[in-house]
Amino acid sequence: MEQPVALVTGAGRGIGAGVAAALSNEGYAVALTSRSRDQLEETAARCAGPTLVLPTDLTAPGAIEEVVDRVEQEWAAPQVVVANAGAGVSASVDRTTDEQWQQMLDLNLTAPFRLLRRTIPAMKQAEHGRIVVVASVAAKLGEPYISAYTASKHGVLGLVRSAAAELARTGVTVNAVCPGYVDTPMTAQTVQGIVDKTGRTPEQALAALEAKSPLHRLITVEEVVEAVLTCVRNSGMTGQGINVDGGGLQS
């Protein structure tokens, strides 16, 4: 494989699909993974260059290893890894079940950890690599009713910072992008959850989310993608959690 290789998780829709298409336009051969083959095929159709469609549940035992093994067998070790797969759940602390808690940790924290563990050795050997985790402003700020999600995102930002410090002199950078509410299907699910629990109209629920940003609008997928590409391009940036939230959380 003459082209550099990128691996994007959660590539079936939203931010992951946008990142995959952008990396393809940058000249990468892009391996795509998420649960849905149909969605991955749609993302592959948006890409300008070679793609590898690898539907899987990243929380399943051995799934990360199988995906990376396949990429290496078909192409080469990924030089860019974007850990975007994630999900959210809303409940008060006292109503958060063990199952909900574990779901958030498994997908939002353990899966990225396993992905880094599996892909870092080849990057270190090549003395070059870019790892970007799509986290959330919830990695830095606690909000009510999302304790499990917030804990998982705080955890993954800690993973990013520690890995970046460890790899600082190897040519491998590790960063997180921390979006606010983005115009994606995941936010649409959040809106519906507010409607179901509060009786607000969808318009009222959306307005409440938009009001969290000084811009009074949702962040676009393209704005998050640009932040991810910055992390890929900039060799002097590592260990960062880059906020893309319209100025709601200033740091």
145 is catalytic: no
Query: N- to C-terminal Cα distance for the chain?
Result: 40
| Whole-angstrom distance, CA of residue 238 vs CA of residue 161 | 8
Beta strands (DSSP E) in the chain are 5-9, 29-33, 51-53, 80-83, 129-134, 172-179, 241-244
Out of 28, 145, 149, 181, the active site residue is: 149
Cβ contacts of 122-125, under 8 Å, gap ≥ 24 = 122/72, 122/77, 122/78, 123/77, 123/79, 123/167, 123/170, 123/171, 123/172, 124/167, 124/170, 124/171, 124/172
CA gap 43, 51 in Å, rounded: 9
Q: Which residues are catalytic?
A: 149
